[in-house]
């Protein structure tokens, strides 16, 4: 009898061991399956993010090429035609007593202004010029152009220090700046706009644009899929995302708006003096 009980115990022990091994095997298979599934999901998310970035990159490159072509066409065609008209008017000699004298003089002044404004516009749109003069000079030029338009009071401050970005980052940062200014012109109803460019000792480059306009509800604008989501805001965020920059917007209805665009600098990008 004891032998039989011993055999039963052995069978039970073997059964329990096999059961535990089976459970362990199943748990291990499930764990490996879930791990593999999680890895696949991460890979798919990475591929989707990479695809989205490449698609956005292509779209922005096409947009930049379009800007460049339009700027070239404006300069080569419209600019030349305006110059021809300018020389034609300059060739008209009228005495001051002539009734058409004042009209011709006013036409010359308006034509000169149109030529200068067209020149400023093509410079702002032309990608090559932005990379030639650098981001800070491009921002200063844009502020000077807006100041001439007398839409609002402007101020520009520049911190000590220097930075160096590749051409793509400079172009993207400048387009973000232009988008901010366009939004101010179209929507803010501001009377004062302040721009600061900062290269901090902490190794970050940033520019801050503040206005005293009517402001807006930031959360409402940032709601994904919302009808009121700003196209300009999305464009800024998308461009910033591609170059590793961050866009911070602070605004309240009736309290104006502050937009900060910040980009970390690599050690080789930091210098001590403006050149």
Same domain, 120 and 153: no
Same domain, 196 and 223: yes
For the segment 168-188, the average pLDDT, to the nearest whole number, is 87
Same domain, 68 and 200: no
Check: CB of residue 143 under 8 Å from CB of residue 195.
yes
Same domain, 108 and 172: no
Same domain, 59 and 170: no
Same domain, 116 and 230: no
Which of 83, 101, 125 is the endpoint of a domain? 125
Residue 22 is part of which domain span? Answer: 1-125
Same domain, 188 and 255: yes
For the segment 71-78, the average pLDDT, to the nearest whole number, is 63
* CA-to-CA dists, residue 262 to 44, 96, 172, 251, angstroms: 29, 57, 12, 17
CA distance 191 to 154: 9
pLDDT digits (tens, 9 = 90+) for 107-147: 777 777 776 666 666 666 667 777 788 888 889 888 888 88
Same domain, 81 and 199: no
Check: CB of residue 205 under 8 Å from CB of residue 243.
no
Give the chain's mean pLDDT. Answer: 76
Lowest mean pLDDT among 17-21, 169-173, 232-236: 232-236
Residue 166 above 90 pLDDT?
A: no
CA distance 261 to 77: 36
For the segment 78-98, the average pLDDT, to the nearest whole number, is 70
Inside any domain, residue 130: no
Residue 86 above 80 pLDDT?
A: no
For the segment 95-102, the average pLDDT, to the nearest whole number, is 76
Which of 125, 152, 181 is the endpoint of a domain? 125
CA angle 238, 239, 242 (to 5 degrees): 90
Check: CB of residue 140 under 8 Å from CB of residue 156.
yes
The pLDDT-based confidence of 207 (bands split at 50, 70, 90) is very high
Same domain, 19 and 142: no
Same domain, 47 and 107: yes
Same domain, 93 and 154: no
pLDDT in the model for residue 272: 41
Backbone angles phi, psi at 215, to 5 degrees: 70, 180
Which of 105, 125, 145 is the endpoint of a domain? 125
Share of the chain above pLDDT 90, in %: 12
Inside any domain, residue 259: yes
3-class state of residue 209 by DSSP: strand
Indicate which CATH number applies to the domain containing 240.
Answer: 3.30.565.10
The pLDDT-based confidence of 208 (bands split at 50, 70, 90) is very high
Same domain, 102 and 226: no
Residue 269 above 80 pLDDT?
A: no
Inside any domain, residue 62: yes
Share of the chain above pLDDT 70, in %: 66
Q: Give the number of domains in the chain.
A: 2
pLDDT digits (tens, 9 = 90+) for 221-230: 766 444 444 5
């Amino acid at each position: 009898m004891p032998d039989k009980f011993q055999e039963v115990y052995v069978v039970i022990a073997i059964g329990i061991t096999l059961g535990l091994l089976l459970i362990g095997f199943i748990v291990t298979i499930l764990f490996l399956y879930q791990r593999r599934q999680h890895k696949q999901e991460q890979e798919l998310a990475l591929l989707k993010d990479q695809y989205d970035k490449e698609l956005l990159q292509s779209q922005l490159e096409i947009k930049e090429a379009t800007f460049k072509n339009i700027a070239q066409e404006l300069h080569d065609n419209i600019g030349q035609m305006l110059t021809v008209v300018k020389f034609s008017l300059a060739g008209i000699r009228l005495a001051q007593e002539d009734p058409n004298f004042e009209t011709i003089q006013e036409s010359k002044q308006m034509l000169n202004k149109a030529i200068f404004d067209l020149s400023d516009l093509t410079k702002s749109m032309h990608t090559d010029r932005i990379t030639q003069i650098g981001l800070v000079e491009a921002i200063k030029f844009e502020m000077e152009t807006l100041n001439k338009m007398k839409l609002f009071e402007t101020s520009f401050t520049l911190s000590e220090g220097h930075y160096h970005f590749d051409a793509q980052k400079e172009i993207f940062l400048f387009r973000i700046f232009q988008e901010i200014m366009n939004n101010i012109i179209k929507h803010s109803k501001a009377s004062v706009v302040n721009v600061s460019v900062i290269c901090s000792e902490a190794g970050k480059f940033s520019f801050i644009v503040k206005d005293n306009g009517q402001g807006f509800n930031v959360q409402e604008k940032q709601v994904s899929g919302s009808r009121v989501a700003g196209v300009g805001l999305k464009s800024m965020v998308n461009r910033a995302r591609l170059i590793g920059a961050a866009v911070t917007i602070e605004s309240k209805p009736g309290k104006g708006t502050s937009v900060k665009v910040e980009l970390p600098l690599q050690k080789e990008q930091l210098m001590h003096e403006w050149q």
